[in-house]
């Protein structure tokens, strides 16, 4: 064999060996990642992950992600060493030496298995399959809010809308529809039970079911304000680059609560303790209602907090509610009605933010204490609002933005029981009374027309977007389809109507 051929053969063997090592390293990473996803974030959907991947995290909290990665590095390294052992020890299969050819088969097999585990963990096959199918749900059931006749009362009511991060009914007491022996959120539980709260159950606390495309913060906000789930069209979407992808426009075909109230001459403000650009929330709020946004950056710029101040995602809920009191007071002194909305952050996974100066540690689990503190702070804000001159003409809505994402926390409470997790809701001081509040199967996009109805607005037809006015007797889409699973089967499919008339407005 010539030196040239021998050199090429050696180079080839070196490349194969490098490929084998890389496949085993990736296999270790894939296996650890799939297990971490399955255990910690079983409820997270691939839509959410792709949304943030395509559209940027934009200044969101990365410390949790970095911490999660570093905490799993030892497991990945350990697994990599285990997978590498057959080559390191030169083990034999049957009576044949474990040659390069067999090493390649071994590494390739492990790689295929690990890649399959990763894909299954993130439900990628189901996602791709759904995108290859088409649905007519929007063609048949979407009601363009622009076309709906809305009749406001002679005296317009103010709106205070509180999105509570990851708030669901599971932490409430078992006696009243939750899964805690002792209620972790007694104040929120009482508010729901003594005011108007819609439930999927015959009695006790209940709420909105998790619809496809509504299960993360900006998607939850979109559902409740626009009456539609949030989708980016996926790899088959064919959306133009003026669409949501590069954020020049955020769902330009949607028409939201913010736009309805802007047209009705409301002053509108939105407060959040994080950076407004995370997930494109700034575009949702500014392009659909022209809200005055008081976020983390605004607070720094306007001296509400020191320039070097940052905890958790920005500033904590203790400050959020104080800023909200100040803003509500300011807005109430203006001649126009106001729409004041806010998004809390302390209850965000993982384990939330516990302010030791404000929160008591009455439970063993930190996340329980975080929820308990949030419950007290929200109730205190509501009580403050009730004492203000503007309250008699104001409705307060408290709603979770989506179900909690810290899967082990909720699974421990449920402990295998046949319990349906639902998003919390309550309407305080609504202008109308509902036909019924129990045995309602609904999703968060039903909050859109329901909010207007609670403000005393007559919604002709009781439908907007995919949402139904819960104060009416009309069936929601969940009820029409016979359950949330049946509805989600349609929502997960591609829709030409959605892509062309809502996502890109072409």
Same domain, residue pair 468 and 497: yes
Same domain, residue pair 117 and 175: no
Same domain, residue pair 142 and 68: no
In a domain, 296, yes or no: yes
Same domain, residue pair 325 and 187: yes
pLDDT average per 10 residues of sequence, the chain (506 residues): 59 80 87 74 62 49 57 82 77 55 85 85 72 89 98 98 98 97 97 98 96 94 97 51 53 97 98 93 96 97 95 95 98 97 95 91 96 98 98 98 93 93 98 97 98 98 98 98 96 94 83
Q: What stretches of 21-69 adopt beta strand conformation (E)?
A: none
Contact 338, 304 (CB under 8 A): no
Same domain, residue pair 451 and 350: yes
Same domain, residue pair 87 and 141: no
In a domain, 156, yes or no: no
Same domain, residue pair 374 and 293: yes
Q: Which residue has the tokens 């929330």?
A: 281
Q: Give this prediction's pTM.
A: 0.84
Contact 116, 69 (CB under 8 A): no
The SS3 assignment for 163 reads: strand
In a domain, 158, yes or no: no
Closest CA to 104 of 120, 119, 130, 86: 86
DSSP code per residue over 111-151? HHHHHHHHHHHTTHHHHHHHHTSB--HHHHH-B-GGGS-EE
Report the C-alpha gap between 348 and 341 in whole angstroms.
18
Same domain, residue pair 204 and 326: yes
pLDDT for the residue 245: 39
Contact 163, 219 (CB under 8 A): no
In a domain, 129, yes or no: no
Report the C-alpha gap between 295 and 58 in whole angstroms.
14
In a domain, 438, yes or no: yes
Q: Which residue has the tokens 């402990």?
A: 415
Contact 103, 87 (CB under 8 A): yes
Angle between helices 317-332 and 366-386 (to 10 degrees): 10
- Cβ-count burial 352-365 (b if 16+ within 10 Å, e if not): bbbbeeebeeebee
Contact 425, 168 (CB under 8 A): no
In a domain, 20, yes or no: yes
Same domain, residue pair 141 and 84: no
Q: Domain span at residue 253?
A: 137-148+165-503
Same domain, residue pair 144 and 111: no
Same domain, residue pair 95 and 183: no
CATH number of the domain where residue 245 is located:
3.40.720.10
Which of these three, 122, 157, 186, is where a domain ends?
122
Report the C-alpha gap between 444 and 116 in whole angstroms.
33
- Token pair of 98 as six digits: 């474990």
In a domain, 154, yes or no: no
pLDDT for the residue 235: 43
Q: Find the helix or strand (DSSP H, E) in which 161 lies.
A: strand 158-164
pLDDT for the residue 52: 52
How many CB atoms lie under 10 A from the CB of residue 111? 20
Same domain, residue pair 310 and 378: yes
Burial class (CB in 10 A: 0-12, 13-18, 19+), 418: exposed
Contact 355, 175 (CB under 8 A): no
Count up the domains in the chain and report the number: 2
SS (H, E, C) 209-270: ECCCCCCCHHHHHHHHHHCCCCCCCHHHCCCCCCCHHHCCCCCCCCCCHHHHHHHCCCEEEE
In a domain, 132, yes or no: no
Report the C-alpha gap between 293 and 333 in whole angstroms.
19
- Token pair of 470 as six digits: 């819960």
């Amino acid at each position: 064999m010539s030196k040239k051929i021998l050199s090429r053969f050696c180079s080839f063997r070196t490349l194969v060996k490098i490929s084998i090592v890389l496949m085993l390293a990736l296999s270790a990473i894939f296996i650890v990642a799939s297990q971490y996803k399955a255990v910690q974030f079983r409820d997270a959907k691939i839509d959410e992950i792709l949304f943030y991947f395509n559209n940027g995290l934009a200044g969101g909290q990365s410390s949790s992600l970095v911490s999660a990665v570093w905490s799993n590095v030892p497991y990945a390294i350990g697994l990599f060493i285990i997978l590498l052992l057959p080559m390191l020890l030169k083990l034999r299969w049957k009576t044949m030496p474990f040659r390069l050819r067999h090493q390649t088969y071994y590494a390739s097999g492990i790689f295929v298995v690990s890649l399959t585990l990763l894909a299954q963990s993130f439900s990628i096959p189901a996602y791709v399959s759904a995108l290859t199918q088409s649905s007519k749900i929007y063609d048949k059931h979407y009601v363009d809010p622009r076309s709906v006749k809305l009749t406001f009362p002679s005296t317009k009511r103010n709106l205070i809308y509180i999105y509570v991060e990851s708030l669901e009914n599971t932490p409430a007491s078992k006696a009243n529809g939750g899964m805690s022996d002792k209620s972790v959120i007694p104040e929120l539980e009482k508010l729901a039970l003594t005011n108007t709260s819609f439930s999927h159950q015959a009695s006790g606390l209940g709420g909105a079911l998790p619809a496809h495309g509504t299960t993360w913060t900006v998607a939850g906000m979109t559902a409740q304000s626009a009456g539609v789930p949030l989708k980016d069209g996926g790899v088959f979407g064919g959306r133009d680059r003026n669409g949501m992808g590069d954020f020049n426009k955020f769902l330009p075909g949607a028409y939201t609560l913010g736009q309805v109230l802007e047209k009705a001459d409301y002053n509108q403000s939105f407060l959040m303790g994080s950076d407004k650009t995370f997930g494109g929330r700034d575009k949702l709020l500014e392009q659909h209602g022209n809200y005055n946004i008081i976020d983390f950056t605004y607070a720094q710029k306007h001296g509400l907090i020191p320039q070097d101040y940052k905890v958790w995602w920005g500033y904590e809920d203790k400050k959020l509610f104080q800023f909200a009191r100040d803003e509500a007071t300011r807005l109430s002194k203006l001649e126009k009605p106001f729409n004041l909305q806010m998004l809390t952050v302390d209850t965000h996974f993982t384990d939330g933010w516990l302010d030791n100066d404000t929160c008591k540690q009455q439970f063993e689990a930190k996340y329980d204490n975080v929820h308990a503190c949030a419950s007290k702070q929200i109730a205190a804000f509501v009580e403050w609002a009730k004492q203000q001159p503007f309250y008699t003409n104001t409705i307060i809505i408290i709603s979770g933005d989506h179900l909690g994402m810290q899967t082990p926390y909720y699974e421990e409470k449920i402990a295998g029981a046949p319990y349906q997790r639902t998003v919390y809701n309550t309407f305080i001081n609504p202008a109308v009374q509902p036909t019924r509040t129990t045995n309602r199967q609904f999703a968060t996009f039903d909050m859109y027309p329901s909010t207007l109805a609670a403000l005393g607005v007559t919604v002709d037809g009781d439908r907007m977007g995919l949402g139904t006015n819960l104060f009416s007797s009309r069936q929601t889409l969940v009820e029409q389809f016979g359950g949330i699973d049946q509805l989600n089967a349609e929502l997960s499919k591609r829709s030409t109507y959605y892509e062309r008339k809502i996502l890109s407005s072409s």
